[in-house]
Structure 1
Amino acid sequence: MGIVNVTPDSFSDGGAFLDERDAIAHGRRLAAEGAAILDVGGESTRPGAAAVDAGEELRRVGPVVAALAADGVARVSIDTSKVDVAQSALDAGAVYVNDVTAFRAEPELAGLVADRGVDCCLMHMLGDPRTMQRDPRYDDVVDDILAFLEERITFAVGEGVAEHRIQIDPGIGFGKTIEHNLELVRRIDAFCTLGFPVVVGTSRKSFLGRLTGRDEPARRVAATLATNVLAYERGASVFRVHDVAEHVDALTVAAATLPR
């Protein structure tokens, strides 16, 4: 899953692809490098990020989704928690809704996903981007997130979302300490026991920078590769990344080496 941020303030590439022409070209480049899904987002979810209204979010992502969907090379995902944004993106050709709130921000989004028969990702986040890194605590980070995801799966299915349309994401970096994030990578196989494809999103994140001393997000590619190969070995199957070509190579070697 290649990341296409159409934002001025994302932590790694904020502003780099705010112009729709740059974002479209970037998405096409990621597809050419091997991305099966292009995840287009118009609102940053980095810690402390300001909220964006639906109108502005739509203005950012609409032309990008339409152009990439028309290419037909990769499936297009809309990274949003807003019904209006998701509906417009689906109308423009998106086939996947990636909601970092797992249908909590706007519960009616589940019904839209069900009605359209598209895939979705339900992610765990403690609080919201404004508050999630304020002293996050868990009894057991894996058990607590498993319980959360089970509840959100039950909600989604109750709203009519087909089980085979659901993917799950433990939300690494979203309301977690370094130790929490490492424990999630270490025990990613626990999430596979729920029976849904597991999405991993560690790409260039700050906990990798703290571990390696790499302040610049673009210099955290090797660290990201390590987490995703480990996650693959433990059963994860979707990897949301900035650096597609490097991950295609690393995961191709891992797939050829490891029994699945």
Structure 2
Amino acid sequence: MNLTNPDCVATIANVQSMWQPLKLGHRTYTDGLPLVMAIVNRTPDSFFDQGATYAEDKAWQRVRAVVEEGADIVDIGGVRAGYGPEVDAAEEIERVAGFVGRVRAAYPDLVISVDTWRAEVARAVLEQGADVINDAWGGHDPDLVAVAAEYDAAVICTHAGGLSPRTDPFRQEYDDVVAACIETTVGLAERAVAAGVDPHSVVIDPAHDFAKNTFHSLELTRRIGEMVDTGYPVLVSVSNKDFVGETLGLPAGERMHGTYAATAITAMAGARIHRVHQVRETRHLVDMAWSIAGRRPPLRAIRGLA
């Protein structure tokens, strides 16, 4: 791109101006650029790292590393998404609330998200300085959005197909999985706004693999632009998931290249937030995709010009 050409600069500025401001707690993003959300699991049984960051010192090392690698957001979770030993609200709060406070004190500008479906956990972490509640189970607790509104927090509204938390899908059927995701997440977004959440603080997530088989998740990836077209910022969480593993026949620890391919497709389509395990690589990938799409200028462009 010839950045000495004013028309090129104006084109990128016009594209970026089409994106609505995104308010995530204390931070507001107006440049329309993609964000990378790093996964930090305070669980002993996470599917990908098998509890590698369950201990607080290990989780702290992970936070420091991902911030250095360019994460815009850290998403802290205290309960494994899938089946496993019961974790009640008190235990979940014990795992995440104090840790959120520690991260907030050390990184006052960092956006902190917490992956929980419980209103009481949301309140505990918001009191410690969290900015975002990542409701991965699609409004299971109807009081959660009111708590988020009370603290002026952002909410991620997720399609979970009506399943209860920590339930794996079994023969889920949809006439049109993308239409179902749009209907559910937009409905949840509207409910959040009605409860008092700032309209610029609502994000939607189709939730790859949640209440979906591999064919559903592949179709969502292919048609993610339809969710972007709703006007709500779209979060995608495809990192090392089972649909990637089943497509390529690979275990969790060998899915990064498939993950990058899926991430590139969703980034080109305009997905705004990418929730990932590999931060530095994803940062480069989504920035390159947005530049190819004409939404982000190169950081340096002198080849053939100087």
Task: Give 1:138 shift.
Answer: 0.7
* 1:88-237 correspondence runs (5 A): 88-102=124-138, 104-126=139-161, 127-215=163-251, 217-237=252-272
Shift of 1:91: 1.1
Aligned partners of 1:130, 1:122: CA distance in 2, in Å? 17
* Partner amino acid, structure 1, of 2:118: K
1:130 to 1:59, Cα distance in 2 relative to 1, 3 A: closer
Q: Return the match for 1:27 from 51, 63, 69.
A: 63
- Residue from 234, 247, 255 that aligns with 2:290: 255
Cα separation, 1, equivalents of 2:81 and 2:245: 18
State the Cα deviation string for residues 113-159 of structure 1 (Å, max 9, x = none): 11111111001112135433111111110111111112212211211
Length, aligned pairs only: 257
In 2, Cα distance between equivalents of 1:154 and 1:248: 30
**CA distance in 2: counterparts of 1:177 and 1:27, whole angstroms:** 32
Unaligned runs of 5+ in 1: none
Which range is displaced more, 200-209 or 70-79? Answer: 70-79
| Residue in structure 1 matched with residue 300 of structure 2 by the alignment | none
Contiguous gaps of at least 5 residues in structure 2: 1-36, 296-306
CA contact (8 A) 1:124 1:148 kept: yes
Q: Which has the higher contact order (CA 8 A, sep 6+)?
A: 2
Q: Percent sequence identity over matched residues?
A: 35
Q: Distance in 2 between matches of 1:130 and 1:60?
A: 18
* Deviation sequence 1:96-117 (CA, Å, 0-9, x none): 1100123x22211111111111
**Alignment-derived partner of residue 60 in structure 1:** 95
Q: State how far apart, in whole Å, the 1-side matches of 2:199 and 2:45 are.
A: 34
TM-score with structure 2 setting the length: 0.81
Q: Cα distance, 1:245 vs. partner?
A: 0.9
Question: Contact between 2:137 and 2:165, CA under 8 Å: does it hold in 1?
Answer: no
Amino acid at match of 1:145: C
TM-score by length of 1: 0.95
- Bigger mean CA deviation after superposition, 71-80 or 231-240: 71-80
From 14, 17, 26, the equivalent of 2:53 is 17
Q: Deviations over 1:29-75 (max 9, x none)?
A: 111101100000000113x3444201111111123211211122521
Indicate the structure (1 or 2) with the bigger Cα radius of gyration: 2
Distance (whole Å) between structure 1 residues aligned to residue 279 and residue 159 of structure 2? 24
